């Protein structure tokens, strides 16, 4: 396949899926359906490379498009411009269906994302993002048994030692607000340092607390799964006979709830056993994507030493192209740099000359003063004689 000028930067593949992050996975599947064989994927573990500090982001020349909605918007504009090999998979949607699709994107990201990323790798859509966040980061057993080992296996030193914990903490407040942050037993059993003389509490309190938290999470998951099951309503895809961007977004979140080997798999079992229609829909989307030509792999994005600091973002390098406008732009930039360096060198030479003249004048002044002092001494000697 020829070198692609479109490069998607995404979290690495895991668990038989193209990426370990739902929005990265959704972006890859969307691009495979929209522009098959026309893009490459560069696996990255450094969100700081992105313009908005999150993966995925798509680069084309010196342009960068971050977030799944932004990527969809960019590809849609390419299809309208009749770019070769690019099509809009949402073209058949009515204006009302497009508006619904955009609204459901946000709902999926906020809710499913939180359930998945109580253990996921990046900020996701509202509904499924909550579930994914919960599964990957909110459940202590899943974080230490799956999420953290997965992250450390793909991250370089020293990022592997502190980035997983930093990502988990970024989800904590959101999950606590949603009631999806599950504490381990050691954290739940808070003991006072002066508890020796206090009455011993009931041994079953911690067990009841954990059971209550688990049931609260299960109830929230059922509410979210029921909502999407009704939206699908036995149809092959959500709107048409072929997958749209919303189908891709929903399928990506479902697959990352169904595929990973979670140590604590209560929600996964609920999904696989009670909501088979959602799983079947995700598998159908996955099958449609598998029929498309494979994408190429670009050199993986490596974090620099600047990623150790949080005061700024690394600038994404431009993709080399033969576009005449890009060539002209680079030549003008180098010409301006050469002119600036030349002006600086000229000013430095002039400043050096001025310093030299000043030093010579000071030396001549010192010599005149010495000569004057010697003459004065001679006249004083004569007067004394």
Q: What is the pLDDT of residue 186?
A: 42
pTM of the prediction?
A: 0.69
With a CB cutoff of 8 Å and minimum separation 6, the contacts of 87 are 34, 35, 79
Interatomic CA distance for residues 37 and 20, integer angstroms: 21
Q: What is the pLDDT of residue 241?
A: 83
Q: What is the pLDDT of residue 36?
A: 93
| Residue 377 CB burial class (10 angstroms; 0-12, 13-18, ≥19) | exposed
Q: What is the pLDDT of residue 124?
A: 32
**Distance from chain centroid for Cα 365:** 68
Taking the CA of residue 217 as centre, how many other CA atoms within 13 Å lie in the half-sphere pointing to its CB?
31
Interatomic CA distance for residues 258 and 279, integer angstroms: 8
Q: What is the 3-state secondary structure (H, E, C) of the chain?
A: CCCCCEEEEECCCECCECCCCHHHHHHHHHHHHHCCCCEEEEEECCHHHCCCCCCCEEEECCEEEECHHHHHHHHHHHHHCCCCCCCCCCCCCCHHHHHHHHHHHHHHHHHHHHHHCCCCCCCCCEEEHHHHHHHHHHEHHHHHHHHHHHHHHHCCCCHHHHHHHHHHHHHHHHHHHHCCCECCHHHHCCCCCCHHHCCCCCCCHHHHHHHHHHHHHHHHHHHHHHHHHHHHCCCCCCCCCCCCHHHHHHHHHHHHHHCCCCCCCHHHHHHHHHCHHHHHHHHHHHHHHHCCCCCEECCCECCCHHHHCCCCCCCCCCCCCCCHHHHHHHHHHHHHHHHHHHHHHHHHHHHHHHHHHHHHHHHHHHHHHHHHHHHHHHHHHHHHC
Interatomic CA distance for residues 113 and 155, integer angstroms: 22
Q: Are 182 and 139 in contact (CB under 8 A)?
A: yes
| Residue 203 CB burial class (10 angstroms; 0-12, 13-18, ≥19) | exposed
- Phi, psi at 127, each rounded to 5°: -80, -65
Sheet of 296-297: strand order equals 63-66, 57-60, 6-10, 39-43, 296-297
- Tokens 């002039």 belong to 350
Taking the CA of residue 47 as centre, how many other CA atoms within 13 Å lie in the half-sphere pointing to its CB?
18
Q: Are 130 and 178 in contact (CB under 8 A)?
A: yes
One digit per residue, pLDDT tens: the chain, 385 residues? 444 589 999 999 999 999 988 889 999 999 999 999 999 999 988 877 888 888 899 999 888 998 888 999 999 999 999 888 999 999 888 888 888 777 776 777 666 655 554 333 333 344 456 677 888 888 889 999 999 999 898 888 888 888 888 888 888 888 888 777 875 544 444 444 444 444 455 455 556 666 777 788 888 889 889 988 998 988 999 888 899 999 999 999 999 999 999 998 888 999 999 999 999 999 999 999 999 999 999 987 665 544 444 444 433 333 344 455 556 656 776 777 777 787 888 877 777 777 776 666 666 665 555 555 666 665 665 566 5
Which tokens hold the place of 150?
Answer: 């997965």
Interatomic CA distance for residues 369 and 372, integer angstroms: 5
Count other C-beta atoms under 10 Å from residue 133's C-beta.
Answer: 34
């Amino acid at each position: 396949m020829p070198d692609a000028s479109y490069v998607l930067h995404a979290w690495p593949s895991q668990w038989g899926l193209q990426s370990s992050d739902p929005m990265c996975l959704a972006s890859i599947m969307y691009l495979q359906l929209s522009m098959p064989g026309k893009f490459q994927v560069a696996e990255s573990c450094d969100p700081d490379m992105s313009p908005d500090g999150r993966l995925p982001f798509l680069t084309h020349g010196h342009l960068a498009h971050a977030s799944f909605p932004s990527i969809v918007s960019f590809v849609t504009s390419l299809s309208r411009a009749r770019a070769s090999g690019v099509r809009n998979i949402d073209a058949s949607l009515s204006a009302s269906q497009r508006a619904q699709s955009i609204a459901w994107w946000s709902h999926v990201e906020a809710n499913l994302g939180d359930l998945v990323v109580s253990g996921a790798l990046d900020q996701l859509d509202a509904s499924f993002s909550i579930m994914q966040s919960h599964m990957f980061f909110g459940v202590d057993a899943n974080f230490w048994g799956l999420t953290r080992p997965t992250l450390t296996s793909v991250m370089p030193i020293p990022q592997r030692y502190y980035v997983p914990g930093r990502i988990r903490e970024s989800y904590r407040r959101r999950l606590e607000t949603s009631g999806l942050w599950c504490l381990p037993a050691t954290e739940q059993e808070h003991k006072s340092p002066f508890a020796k003389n206090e009455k011993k509490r009931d041994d079953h309190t911690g067990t009841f607390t954990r059971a209550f938290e688990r049931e609260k999470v299960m109830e929230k998951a059922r509410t979210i799964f029921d909502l999407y099951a009704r939206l699908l309503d036995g149809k092959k895809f959500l709107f048409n006979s072929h997958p749209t961007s919303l189908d891709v977004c929903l399928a990506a979140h479902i697959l990352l709830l169904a595929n990973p080997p979670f140590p604590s798999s209560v929600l996964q079992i609920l999904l696989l056993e009670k909501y088979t229609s959602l799983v079947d829909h995700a598998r159908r989307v996955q099958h449609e994507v598998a029929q498309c030509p494979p994408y190429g792999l670009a050199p993986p994005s490596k974090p620099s030493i600047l990623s150790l600091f949080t005061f700024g973002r690394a600038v994404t390098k431009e993709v080399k192209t033969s576009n005449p406008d890009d060539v002209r732009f680079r030549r003008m930039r180098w010409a301006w740099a050469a002119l600036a360096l030349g002006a600086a060198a000229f000013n430095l030479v002039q400043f050096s000359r001025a310093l030299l003249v000043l030093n010579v004048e000071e030396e001549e002044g010192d010599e005149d003063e010495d000569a004057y002092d010697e003459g004065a001494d001679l006249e004083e000697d004569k007067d004394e004689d």
